[in-house]
Structure 1
Amino acid sequence: MTTLEAGRIVGAGLDRVDAPLKVTGAAQYPNDFTLPGMTHAALVGSTIAAGRITGIDASEALAAPGVLTVITHLTAPRLEPGPMTLLGGSPPTPLRDDRILHYGQHIAIVVAESAEQARHAARLIHIRYEATEALLDVDDPRAEIVVNPWGMDTERGDVGAGFAQADVVVEGTYTTPDNTNNPLGLMTTVASWHGDSLTVHDSTQWPHNVRTTLAAVFGIPESGVRVLAPFVGGGFGAGLRVWSHVILAVLAARELKRPVKLVLSRPEMFTSVGHRPNSVQQIKIGATRDGDLVAIEHHGISSVAMEDDDYEPVSAGSAVAYACPNVLTRDRQARLNIPCPGSMRAPAEGQGNFALESAIDDVAHAIGMDPLEFRLRNFADEHPLRGLPWSSNALRACYLEGAERFGWSRRGREPGSMREGNLLVGYGLAGVSYPFYQVPCQARVSVRHDGSAYARSAATDIGTGTYTVMTQLTAELLGLDVDRVRFDLGDSDMPYAPQAGGSGLTGALANAVHAACRRLTREFLDIVRDDTRSPLQGATAEDVAVSDGRIHLIEDSAQGESYVGILARHGLEELSADGRSTPPRAEDLGMAPAGAFGAKFVEVRIDPALGLLRVARVVSAIDGGRILNEKTATSQIIGGTVGGISQALFEETATDAVTGRIANATFGDYLMPVNADVPYIDVLFVGGPDRATRTGTKGIGEVGLVGLAAAIGNAVFHATGRRIRSLPITIDQLML
């Protein structure tokens, strides 16, 4: 059995297996841990964006009640830089010297007996600075420009020749602002040393990365570091890197020889754990009057910190989105005095798709073609760069079935042609793709003497449903009821797992679990291979199936026996097997591994006198490969849709252009949608299992967000005739 067949458990909309722990308060998040002798830490952040520290007076803080230590660059030991990771280099190590690279940079850590004492003492530290003029704008001519940072620029055909043969050429500049991840749970680190061994409870989306980084920074073996994150209060990408507050908590715990807990404040979350970087994009598209794309040119520049290499190729999606013969994409970065950016749900695609899909609509309008028809006409039947068939691509079905569900045929052809009373009504559409991403992963599965199964891997579940879908998958593959399976994660002592990010964990982990379960079945068959008492004597994995806690022959289900029986007869308490997955390669498959696809349909209503915009309804048609749990998958798309509405209409991290201070670093000032801003969201899944992997899954964590900003912008254009090219879309842009 090489692939996962349709079954009774996988795909079903089971409730989350971790829900009882969460709703009863029994789930322990990093902030919930209290250790004997635990101390509490608070951070001191820079109040300038660029310059040097010329003096630090910590005497008043050290004399404050309960204070145990103050660590600054003057007293900190030398720490090694963090390692290179799958997502690039580690952020700069804290407290290296007196330089200030951004506002809010961690320049001291205070540790006291209580959190209140630590926070109070942090305010008593007096810092003297020599400030210099900060670089804060990607258009600042003084900024260092990094060209093609990760070598991902693309070019095919001849864009100059393509534009020369175009009947219509549309071009424009699109801008997207900084956004801040803002998971509900404040990022927390609890660090405890035991001699040379370290245990860390951390709000991370990648326990193994934290283990590897801390081992490198503190010069200890990885085997001496254990990272625990069984429950994380959200992330959206904020937990993918090992930020300086984690290192500072570990450093303080080592210096004091006592456990240290550090909980970031909400304003610190805006400067400490990454953000979606802003972008300025120029896009130019050419087409014939018949509706054939002939050239796409997409240039993007985004911001990056002074000493960091986080990279988001915002133009890269344009290289593979359509069957266009001549395409050029170019990305650059401007080094600025800003906090280190990081991944935020749908990194790069969230920004780049807004520009591409808005411009695609403009081209359709210019040639007088329905935007849906234009996209269908230019659908890429094969991977545009590789020239190979997709391992799966149901984008065409997403367009057609989504349009039918939405009622796209009712759309008036001309902008401003649809009204409801005094309100302008607009229909908008965007096509969506999210790139394939998978990396190696490992899992271990055991069956115990009582017939229950225990599976584990060092992954995290940031609310996506990993606990649940992996429990379902294990149960399906071993022929057990769900309540007979336990799946554990969030412990770096477990088999290696990659990050919960990039829409790649479910595929990688599912394939590792699949491999482990199949190997475990073979282990059972090996035990009874020469057992004359077993009806499975001499059977191979190709001869058997599993159900009801038994292994049995495919041709005669009565010929088989239970796991319990095999273990008992051979005197075994349990039997275990390891599985690993490796990402498929196009060269081996003869196909291009495909990520998720989708089509987003949006209806907006606008009061032209007041400039008020409401999203009335959304239909998201998604090709996510095999859906392991329809309920949790639907929840993922709904959550991503809300994030897309937020990106389009609300979110903007406002940085003071002179000081570099983030001016809206609280939930009271940083705008996000509330229930009244979220319309009816209809989700439908189309397509089938992907051919690239055994389980046929694709990641859907990001594809839910991508395309909403463009679809809303296109709906605004349809309602008003006004093209909005900067996010978020605000009242002043809509007043007619």
Structure 2
Amino acid sequence: MTIIERTALGASIDRVDGRQKVSGRAQYSSDVTYPGLVHAALVRSTIAAGRITGIDASRAEAAPGVVAVVTPDNAPRVERGPDGLWSQPPPPLQQRTIVHHGQYVALVVADTAEQAAAAARLVDVAYERAEAVLDLDDPRAVTVENPFGSDQTRGDSAAGLAAADVIVDAGYTTPDETNNPMGLFATVAAWDGDRLTVHDATQWPDATRATLAAAFGVPERDVRVLAPFVGGGFGAGLRVWPHVVLTAMAARAVGRPVKLVLTRPQMFTGIGHRTATVQRVRIGARRDGTLTAIEHHSVQTGAVDDDNLPEPVTAVSAVGYACPNVTTRDSLRRLNIPVPSSMRGPGDAQGHFALECALDELAYSLGIDPLELRLRNHADEHPQLRLPWSSKALRECYERGAERFGWWDRDPTPHSTRRGDTLVGYGMAGVSFFWFQQPCDARATIDREGRAFVRSAATDIGTGTYTVMTQLSAERLGLRVDQVRMGLGDTELPTAPPQGGSSMTASLGSAIHAAAGNLVQAFLDLVADDIASPLRGLAAADVVAVDGRLQRRDDPSISESYGQMLERHDRTDLTADGSAAPATPEELGLAPAGPFAARFAEVHVDADLGRIRVARLVSVVDAGRILNAKTARSQIIGGAVGGIGMALLEDTVTDPATGRIANATFGDYLIPVNADVPDLDVTFVGEPDRFNPVGVKGVGEIGLVGVAPAIANAVFHATGRRIRDLPLTLDKLL
């Protein structure tokens, strides 16, 4: 596979959408308005399990400004979304059964948002309570084994453990955590006859379109979803949540456009969360550090009425290290909780915590440096596929990170370094993230002025997609960045996959690569028989695109601009489509590699109070070709901040008596603030990946994965106390 040459790529240019955002011209779904628009507010269940026995909406219906109250008694029938779009939650208001606290039981529509919210509080709901199942240890919880079909076995782990000189057998837990993007999720729906237009905070417009079309029995071509800007997502926008369907339902019922903006507490129950896990890791090794076996079992939370998204926690243990005997197993237990979903670094975030902490424990048990242990067990080839990686610079990540951090200068003895009343600890973790790429389409147009318009239905959730795809388009078409306009977030554009799994740059980038190549060919086809064209009869391999022109590869003096070709043939513009689908390992003889990284953390622990501070965090990342060093570094920094939150602060607390989330506000749910974030050192290493023509691997999630275990391992080094349960709070040290 040919890797494209670098020109516009890699430059640390500012975000092309930055001015729109800082000036307020970027229109998010919550900014959208229509003539005659009305507002909706949700009524949520106050029990976690049971059924609705009656709803009295009379007081709400009589309240000022109220247009309608939609309940299970009068809600129209809607269908569940189609298969193949991951799993969609059950459609709202179609039954009277309650399966979690905060479930939507009614919707109020009024002239203003304030009137709708006030009236929603007047809806009286009577319930017949049932005993909720809220704990992973509750024997009543239904257990689903191998829910994702991801369990793996290599060799004989029991025999490998029997042959080991040293075994670590430990349990680790991670709590429920909530995505909490800055922008509140909002949906605006407007019907024009049987045609529906929806503005939504979604990471997957095409899935929203398909789900709404199925829900209301209309053709997909009659549903348009727009999401040109999304105020953050972290995985929360990958599914079509019930509030989206409710907004469209209400708009159809009242015959007016409807806007629904979730409150922050509703964001905790309505758009998913990272699953809690209980994990057991058993690792065996010889005295020289050679791994003989890994067994990794995880149990995670699931909702009682939902088929959860694929989030295998233990998958990293099957491919992370060169170990001949491996068994990984995932289980899920259904609870009366809001539907879990993806959250940055899904599965791998929790799985790495257990695996990398267990390796740290093994290193100390063997008397081998934790970094040296990882180097001795580095997987030079894919352990399961037995194929060479499409790219892998993890060794370089380790070496460069150790050098930048000063790893080899530390005293390796736990509880050995002290500065006054502060205990100092150093920890590290090796990191990988799964490979993920999906089919994608794109379209590219060039007009007589030499300006390009490149577009796809994909979204930009703040990751820099607008910017890096503009750079890639400029590179492929031989244009300046300011000559390229990028269109995203509209289902009337070519089909695109979700912005998730660190896959968008490879998926959309490959489609744009193809569309741009096809557009160059289209220009050559235009002048193929043109005696006035110096490019007559040339093929795409014969030319390069430079400065708005196509020129002969072997003679740059022979060239012609896009505008000249269009003008002579009386064309205002020329358009070409491109599609890309991921290759298979069999096709390339390579194992697809996601990004790799090494994390090194320094922590300071108050010897008397147990308060933990992260003093330094060094990340060295192999993410293939970096299209924009500034936006890529920003992604790693943002992920690392999320990793600090996972390690020290974040915990979505459910009241065991009621099933209510007890800390569903930013005042109670702790997330890192400036004082919690130290200097974050980021370095990129590695070469372009060989599994896609752009040479990229994702950077969205690798920034978070591995931060928590590096910090936990540093806390052990500082204190000599091993904490196996997140978050790492001072009460666990005292």
Residue of 249, 268, 273 corresponding to 2:247: 249
Structure-1 residue corresponding to 2:573: 574
Shift of 1:6: 1.9
Q: Residues of 2 paired with 1:237 and 1:473: CA distance?
A: 25
SS at match of 1:587: helix
Structure-2 residue corresponding to 1:463: 462
Structure-1 residue corresponding to 2:220: 222
Shift of 1:421: 2.1
Amino acid corresponding to residue 484 of structure 2 in structure 1: V
Q: Contact 2:421–2:608 (CA<8 Å) still a contact in 1?
A: no
Structure-2 residue corresponding to 1:650: 649
The answer to whether the aligner puts 1:450 opposite 2:449 as a matched pair is yes
Q: Residues of 1 paired with 2:493 and 2:81: CA distance?
A: 22
1:200-230: per-residue Cα shift (whole Å, max 9, x none)?
0000011001000000111100000000000
1:508-558: per-residue Cα shift (whole Å, max 9, x none)?
000000000011011111111121111111111111111110100111101
Q: Residues of 2 paired with 1:138 and 1:574: CA distance?
A: 60
Q: Residues of 2 paired with 1:84 and 1:615: CA distance?
A: 44
Q: Contact 1:12–1:630 (CA<8 Å) still a contact in 2?
A: yes
Unpaired runs of 5+ residues, structure 2, are none
SS at match of 1:239: helix
Q: Residues of 2 paired with 1:483 and 1:414: CA distance?
A: 55
Structure-2 residue corresponding to 1:6: 6
Amino acid corresponding to residue 76 of structure 1 in structure 2: A
Structure-1 residue corresponding to 2:56: 57
Structure-2 residue corresponding to 1:83: 82
SS at match of 1:85: coil
Q: Residues of 1 paired with 2:311 and 2:2: CA distance?
A: 36
Q: Residues of 2 paired with 1:538 and 1:510: CA distance?
A: 29
SS at match of 1:84: coil
SS at match of 1:296: strand
Shift of 1:77: 1.5
Structure-2 residue corresponding to 1:423: 422
Amino acid corresponding to residue 154 of structure 2 in structure 1: R
SS at match of 2:238: coil
Structure-1 residue corresponding to 2:268: 270
Q: Residues of 1 paired with 2:175 and 2:708: CA distance?
A: 13
Residue of 117, 120, 123 corresponding to 1:119: 117
Shift of 1:193: 0.1
SS at match of 1:717: helix
Amino acid corresponding to residue 4 of structure 1 in structure 2: I
Shift of 1:2: 3.4
Shift of 1:34: 1.0
Amino acid corresponding to residue 377 of structure 2 in structure 1: N
Shift of 1:419: 1.7
Q: Residues of 1 paired with 2:457 and 2:159: CA distance?
A: 51
SS at match of 1:363: helix
Q: Contact 1:528–1:536 (CA<8 Å) still a contact in 2?
A: yes
Structure-2 residue corresponding to 1:179: 177
Structure-1 residue corresponding to 2:327: 328
Amino acid corresponding to residue 551 of structure 2 in structure 1: H
Q: Residues of 2 paired with 1:83 and 1:430: CA distance?
A: 40
Structure-2 residue corresponding to 1:717: 716
Q: Contact 2:87–2:239 (CA<8 Å) still a contact in 1?
A: no
Amino acid corresponding to residue 303 of structure 1 in structure 2: T
Q: Residues of 2 paired with 1:483 and 1:226: CA distance?
A: 29
Q: CA RMSD in A?
A: 0.8
Structure-2 residue corresponding to 1:147: 145
Shift of 1:82: 1.5
Amino acid corresponding to residue 589 of structure 1 in structure 2: L
Structure-1 residue corresponding to 2:304: 306
Matches within 5 A, 1:534-573: 534-573=533-572
Q: Residues of 2 paired with 1:2 and 1:363: CA distance?
A: 43
Amino acid corresponding to residue 6 of structure 2 in structure 1: A
Q: Residues of 2 paired with 1:82 and 1:495: CA distance?
A: 21
Paired-residue identity, %:
62
Structure-2 residue corresponding to 1:625: 624
Larger CA deviation: 552-561 vs 414-423 = 414-423
Structure-2 residue corresponding to 1:531: 530
Q: Contact 1:306–1:337 (CA<8 Å) still a contact in 2?
A: yes
Structure-2 residue corresponding to 1:285: 283
Unpaired runs of 5+ residues, structure 1, are none
Number of residue pairs matched?
Answer: 733
1:456-498: per-residue Cα shift (whole Å, max 9, x none)?
0001101100000000000011111111110110101100011
Q: Residues of 2 paired with 1:85 and 1:506: CA distance?
A: 22
Shift of 1:671: 0.3
Amino acid corresponding to residue 262 of structure 1 in structure 2: L
Q: Residues of 2 paired with 1:678 and 1:462: CA distance?
A: 23
Matches within 5 A, 1:193-208: 193-208=191-206
Shift of 1:284: 0.5
Amino acid corresponding to residue 111 of structure 1 in structure 2: V
Q: Contact 2:51–2:98 (CA<8 Å) still a contact in 1?
A: yes
1:541-592: per-residue Cα shift (whole Å, max 9, x none)?
1111111101001111010110011001111000000001101100101000
The answer to whether the aligner puts 1:160 opposite 2:158 as a matched pair is yes
Structure-1 residue corresponding to 2:134: 136
Q: Contact 2:6–2:475 (CA<8 Å) still a contact in 1?
A: no
Q: Contact 1:85–1:209 (CA<8 Å) still a contact in 2?
A: no
1:297-342: per-residue Cα shift (whole Å, max 9, x none)?
0000001111111142111111000000000000100010000001
Structure-1 residue corresponding to 2:99: 101
Structure-1 residue corresponding to 2:483: 484
Structure-1 residue corresponding to 2:505: 506
The answer to whether the aligner puts 1:354 opposite 2:358 as a matched pair is no
Shift of 1:85: 3.1
Shift of 1:79: 1.1
Q: Residues of 2 paired with 1:170 and 1:260: CA distance?
A: 57
Q: Residues of 1 paired with 2:377 and 2:706: CA distance?
A: 17
Shift of 1:349: 0.4
Amino acid corresponding to residue 5 of structure 1 in structure 2: E
Q: Contact 1:317–1:352 (CA<8 Å) still a contact in 2?
A: yes
Q: Residues of 2 paired with 1:150 and 1:415: CA distance?
A: 39
* TM-score, reference length from structure 1: 0.99
Larger CA deviation: 479-488 vs 414-423 = 414-423
Structure-2 residue corresponding to 1:434: 433
Q: Residues of 1 paired with 2:113 and 2:498: CA distance?
A: 30
Shift of 1:734: 2.1
Structure-2 residue corresponding to 1:48: 47
1:247-302: per-residue Cα shift (whole Å, max 9, x none)?
00000000111000000000000000000010000110000001100000000000
Q: Contact 2:148–2:311 (CA<8 Å) still a contact in 1?
A: no
Q: Residues of 2 paired with 1:483 and 1:496: CA distance?
A: 25
Q: Residues of 2 paired with 1:83 and 1:107: CA distance?
A: 23
Larger CA deviation: 408-417 vs 509-518 = 408-417
Shift of 1:720: 0.9
Amino acid corresponding to residue 535 of structure 2 in structure 1: L
Amino acid corresponding to residue 89 of structure 2 in structure 1: P
Q: Contact 2:38–2:258 (CA<8 Å) still a contact in 1?
A: yes
SS at match of 1:331: strand
Q: Residues of 2 paired with 1:121 and 1:501: CA distance?
A: 37
1:72-93: per-residue Cα shift (whole Å, max 9, x none)?
111112111112234x221111
1:382-417: per-residue Cα shift (whole Å, max 9, x none)?
001101000001111100111111111112121011
Shift of 1:693: 0.9
1:11-40: per-residue Cα shift (whole Å, max 9, x none)?
000000000101111111111111000000
* TM-score, reference length from structure 2: 0.99
Amino acid corresponding to residue 421 of structure 2 in structure 1: N
Q: Contact 2:428–2:598 (CA<8 Å) still a contact in 1?
A: yes
Q: Residues of 1 paired with 2:725 and 2:583: CA distance?
A: 38
Structure-2 residue corresponding to 1:695: 694
Q: Contact 1:608–1:734 (CA<8 Å) still a contact in 2?
A: no
Return structure 1 stretches of 4+ with deviation > 6 angstroms.
none
Q: Residues of 2 paired with 1:422 and 1:409: CA distance?
A: 24
Shift of 1:425: 0.7
Shift of 1:637: 0.1
